[in-house]
Amino acid sequence: MPVKRASGGPTVVLVGRPNVGKSTLFNRITDSRRAIVTAIAGTTRDVNSLPAEWQGTTFSLTDTGGLFGASEDPLHELVVVQGRRALETADVLVFVVDGRDGLVSGDLEVATALRSSRAPVLVAVNKTDDKRSRGRAVEFYQLGFEPVVEIAAEHGQGVGDLLDAIVERLPRARETAQADAPQETAVAIVGRPNVGKSSLLNRLLKEERSIVSDMPGTTRDTVDAVLKWHRRIFRIVDTAGIRRPGRVSRSGQLEAVSVLVARRAIDQADVAVLVIDAVEGATDQDAAIAGEADKAGCGIIIAANKWDLMKGRGSEYSKEFDDKLRQKLKFLEYAPLLHISAATGERTPKVLETIDKIADARARRIPTSELNRFVAAVTAAHPPASPGRREVRVLYAAQTGVAPPTFVFFTNVATEFHFSYERFLVNRLRESFGLTGTPIRIHVRRRNK
């Protein structure tokens, strides 16, 4: 990349306390050796700016040098003035921290200064290739900035992910994203053979006139169709019926391939619609398919099909049916249960509404400050059990992922919660933040001293 003076275009500014690797990251991104790299804190005095490019997007990258931290440099005040000017003009701020050190008071000082900035702030946890930094990146969620990206600037690890996040937040990219069409939601219709999966797909497609494309295959293939619904786009896959492994082996290699394709569809789905035969009720094989979807982390809807054949049995039967099904699929207590009829169309529009609701919940990111207010309130009212001498206290929590929503809880001593307390937290998270129909993953870690 040619080295030239940066002018115009969006500006990305690297900030952080001394010796966290800002200059190394600057050199890596700009493909230059402009910034001098040493182990001496405060080596970078000037504010360096160079053009950079990632995936066709160009921007100016600025290294603020010794803006933060104590210094004996006689020109330090001038450095601070230059650095603060750079902060004021930034379109995106990259807060570089040291994964080996973990969160220290110097980082809190920088974070306080960045909170008043109008620009989005990303956290780059550097030096994560060092075994001393293993698992420490989650400490930086306390700062309240997201996303938190793990990198090793010296070797280039994770820098591509960081650049993706930077480019997404640049002004032009944000405007383009708002103008773009909505993202597709991948939906897999799964279940045993002959429960009405293809009928449900056909019913959904026939009821909606805004179909983009319809690509049917044979009964052994997946059927892939794209459907527009209320400015949403669903790519719906009707999978081949999944049978017991023994039956698959007896029916030949062809059906084995069909099962493999169906399970792959579950792995790639945002939402799985598990179709149950309402006449037969839930079976062991339904539970096995549901387990595949839960393990894959996709959102789940239970659709009890052929409900038109259950008419006239009264509300008591409906409640009894639901109780039995929930007992059979007790690990799917979070999944909405719909009574539908693909043959008559009864309640099939509700399937699309629920898919949309679950897809939104599965991708929801809860602000760290809001999450920790929730943690403080919940643990004050219902603290975790303390099996040892020391009382277990939840110090803070961070959401470390989406699809499915994943949370890390930091405690003073515990590395795991009792399963009943974990279930309690999951249920409260679901209620408090509307995480309908999606699995929730929880991890527990003891905070390093």
- The number of domains in the chain is 3
Domain-embedded: residue 223: yes
Integer Cα distance of 230 and 143 in angstroms: 38
Structural domain including 224 reads: 184-362
Give the end of a domain, one of 134, 161, 177: 177
Task: Give the pLDDT band (50/70/90) at residue 132.
Answer: confident
Q: Is the pLDDT of residue 214 over 50?
A: no
Domain-embedded: residue 219: yes
Q: Quick one: average pLDDT of 423-445?
A: 95
Q: Indicate whether 23 and 85 sit together in one domain.
A: yes
Q: Is the pLDDT of residue 389 over 90?
A: no
Q: Quick one: average pLDDT of 53-80?
A: 71
Compute the C-alpha angle 25/28/29, nearest 5°.
90
- What is the structure's pLDDT at 247? 54
Q: Indicate whether 236 and 316 sit together in one domain.
A: yes
Lowest-confidence pick of 24-28, 221-225, 273-277, 296-300: 221-225
Q: Indicate whether 130 and 255 sit together in one domain.
A: no
Task: Give the pLDDT band (50/70/90) at residue 220.
Answer: very low
Integer Cα distance of 238 and 187 in angstroms: 9
The residue among 62 and 177 whose pLDDT is bigger is: 62
- What is the structure's pLDDT at 184? 87
Give the end of a domain, one of 362, 390, 415: 362
Q: Is the pLDDT of residue 61 over 70?
A: yes
55 within 8 A of 167, measured Cβ to Cβ? yes
Q: Is the pLDDT of residue 18 over 90?
A: no
Q: Indicate whether 270 and 199 sit together in one domain.
A: yes
- What is the structure's pLDDT at 142? 83
Task: Give the pLDDT band (50/70/90) at residue 5.
Answer: very low
Q: Are strands 271-277 and 211-215 parallel, antiparallel or unpaired?
A: unpaired
Task: Give the pLDDT band (50/70/90) at residue 178.
Answer: low
How many CB atoms within 10 Å of residue 172? 14
Q: Indicate whether 395 and 308 sit together in one domain.
A: no
Q: Quick one: average pLDDT of 379-397?
A: 89
Element (H, E) at 39: none
Task: Give the pLDDT band (50/70/90) at residue 429.
Answer: very high
Integer Cα distance of 334 and 352 in angstroms: 18
Residue 394, domain CATH: 3.30.300.20
Q: Indicate whether 248 and 351 sit together in one domain.
A: yes
Q: Quick one: average pLDDT of 100-117?
A: 90
Cα 216 versus chain centre, distance = 31
Domain-embedded: residue 6: no
- What is the structure's pLDDT at 285? 85
Give the end of a domain, one of 337, 362, 387: 362
Q: Quick one: average pLDDT of 273-301?
A: 92
Q: Quick one: average pLDDT of 341-360?
A: 95
The residue among 178 and 273 whose pLDDT is bigger is: 273
- What is the structure's pLDDT at 254? 47
Q: Quick one: average pLDDT of 130-155?
A: 88
Q: Indicate whether 207 and 281 sit together in one domain.
A: yes
Contacts for 284 with CB less than 8 Å, ≥ 6 apart = none
How many CB atoms within 10 Å of residue 279? 12
Q: Indicate whether 136 and 197 sit together in one domain.
A: no
Q: Residue 360: what are its φ and ψ, rounded to 5°?
A: -65, -45
Domain-embedded: residue 257: yes
Q: Per-residue pLDDT tens for 292-334?
A: 899 999 999 999 999 999 987 877 889 999 999 999 999 999 9
Q: Indicate whether 90 and 124 sit together in one domain.
A: yes
Residue 24, domain CATH: 3.40.50.300
- What is the structure's pLDDT at 237? 84
Q: Residue 160: what are its φ and ψ, rounded to 5°?
A: -60, -40
Q: Is the pLDDT of residue 342 over 50?
A: yes
The residue among 237 and 22 whose pLDDT is bigger is: 22
The residue among 226 and 220 whose pLDDT is bigger is: 226
Q: Indicate whether 95 and 196 sit together in one domain.
A: no
Task: Give the pLDDT band (50/70/90) at residue 255.
Answer: very low
Q: Indicate whether 202 and 317 sit together in one domain.
A: yes
Average pLDDT, the chain: 82
Q: What's the number of CA atoms in the CB half-sphere (13 Å) around residue 57?
A: 21
Domain-embedded: residue 4: no
Local structure of 229: helix, strand or coil: strand
Q: Is the pLDDT of residue 251 over 80?
A: no
